[in-house]
Homo-oligomer: A and B are copies of this chain.
Amino acid sequence: MAIKWINYDQLDASSKLASDAKVDLTKVMTGASGEERVKKYSAKMAADLTFNYAAKNVDDTILADLQKLADEAGLVDKFEVLYNGEFVNVGENRMVLHHLTRGQLGNDVVFNGVNEREFYTGVQKRVAEFAGKVHSGEIANEKGEKFTTVVQIGIGGSDLGPRAMYLALENWARVNGFLKMNAQFISNVDPDDAAAVLANVDVSRSLFILVSKSGTTLETLTNESFVKDALKKAGLDPSKHMIAVTSQTSPLAGSSDYLDSFFMDDFVGGRYSSCSAVGGAVLSLAFGPEIFDRFLEGAAAEDKLSKSRNVLDNPALLDALIGVYERNVLGYGSTAVLPYSQALSRFPAHLQQMDMESNGKSVNRFGEEVSYPTGPVIFGEPGTNGQHSFYQLLHQGTDIIPLQFIGFKESQQGVDVEIQGSTSQHKLSANVAAQIMAFACGKDDENKNKKFAGNRPSSIIIGEKLTPEALGALLAHFENKVMFQGFVWNLNSFDQEGVQLGKVLAKKVLAHETDGALKAYADIFGI
């Protein structure tokens, strides 16, 4: 097919959307209309999840125009060429193949004679075998004792995604007998980060995973050095306590400094690498490869739904389009991600990177400045905690912030207590349901200080329970949502040139090659 990469404001559907009558949630979400919307504006996701968008500012007309936008921009066609191996990351001249880490959506993708799907599954198999040997004690410390802790050393995409996924399943795994090793993470170049983690683990029983695609990430190499020092001070041989996850061409690959190396390649971006060896090594060691497989299955199943050309059957696409409508038609500048699940405490931080690093850009994929807003600010904390924190602004502040709720019918650990006639889990669910309606419909009051204007849009993803499959589906949903939004805005969502300048200047400071204000700041810090 012929793909047209075209700016959002050049699409007919964008003008159509701008002129559509706005939906007032305080009207449509009340009475029978509201009940009908909750039942109707709902799309099935994988792993028993449901995307409900009843409380978004859409109606059948706007949804039809979002479908037109999807068709006119060829969003699903673009997804198709992406997973079939077109070099859609134009800035870096790379394919974008993270979907292949968890399934085969289209044609075989072969690069330099290597079938990429086989490459990724091959690595997963090697990771699984290695994890099995660690769990059985075949690979052990120098005294022959089993490793009990796994510590990931990485930053950005090598940290946020794997950490969020680990935390999401840690307690589920514990109560279900799947927690094989405790996992810790070292990311920040702040020496207090590594020192704090090392103070809390038994290094003699710890296996460290060094994760850096290029093998040159300064923070990660610094922390590796920090950890090696600690191992040596404890009389241990660092090479018997470390593995590497890196690219085949990196200086780390196959080095005798590591027990083993597991490879990723340039076609999986850091922030999309949770399903590659970057997430696979730590999650397979922590929970066992079977659990990691279940996570991948959930993601793969969700990916398949993203192929649908009918926006109503394609939750990631629909979520993306509604987000574009909120950003470009309604003019909202940020989005809050609010999981009513403590296990998802760091999921918003991962989405923050995934979304803001992908679509926080001012030029289109051809390097031309765009004249419309692109990626929003993403932030969030788990509910009900957030209710007792920043929800005040969400309800009564002067700006409207679209909301993305996530909730589950069952808790992960199944331990609960009944007080005032209801369980904690029911209280949690009741709160998220209540919040959706409070935001949508508001409440008038003679005392304007107690008035809620309402018409504050939210969607919710509802699941049975946060299992590995559900987590994989959630992850894929948001990855694909961000991808579709990048397509609408005509961005390259897969590079990150915006991180470079700071790196260059930091090196200058450390080399004392500065003048003017930068030297003045360096002087204050005594560098």
Contact = CB atoms under 8 A, between A and B. Distances in A.
A53 B469 CA distance: 48
Copies in the complex: 2
Interface in A212-235: 218-219, 221-223, 225-226, 229
A199 to B, nearest CB: 6
Contact of A189 (B29, B34, B424, B498): B424
Given A190-B382, A428-B190, A434-B502, A394 B449 contact: no
A517 B454 CA distance: 15
Contact of A30 (B196, B501, B517): B517
A10 B515 CA distance: 44
Interface residues of A, number: 159
Interface in A421-454: 421-438, 440, 442-443, 447-453
Nearest to A157: B388
B391 A499 contact: yes
Interface stretch (A15-23, A97-105, A284-292, A364-372): A364-372
A441 B437 CA distance: 45
A354 to B, nearest CB: 9
Contacts of A362: 396-398, 453
A501 B433 contact: no
**A31, A194, A223 interface centre (most CB from chain B within 10 Å):** A194
Nearest to A373: B398
Interface in A287-328: none
A257 to B, nearest CB: 14
A2 interface: no
A526 interface: yes
Interface in A473-527: 492, 495-510, 515-522, 524-527
A412 interface: yes
Contacts of A499: 387-388, 391-392, 395
Interface string A173-202: 011000000000001111111111001000
A130 interface: no
A187 B342 CA distance: 9
A119 interface: no
17 contacts: A34-B517, A159-B385, A190-B428, A192-B413, A219-B384, A222-B424, A353-B389, A357-B392, A373-B399, A379-B379, A392-B496, A396-B498, A421-B510, A429-B526, A433-B509, A435-B506, A452-B501
Given A35-B515, A421-B510, A434-B518, 17 more contacts: A35-B516, A38-B524, A160-B385, A160-B389, A221-B419, A333-B333, A333-B334, A356-B390, A361-B393, A372-B398, A374-B397, A396-B498, A422-B510, A426-B510, A433-B522, A440-B517, A460-B521
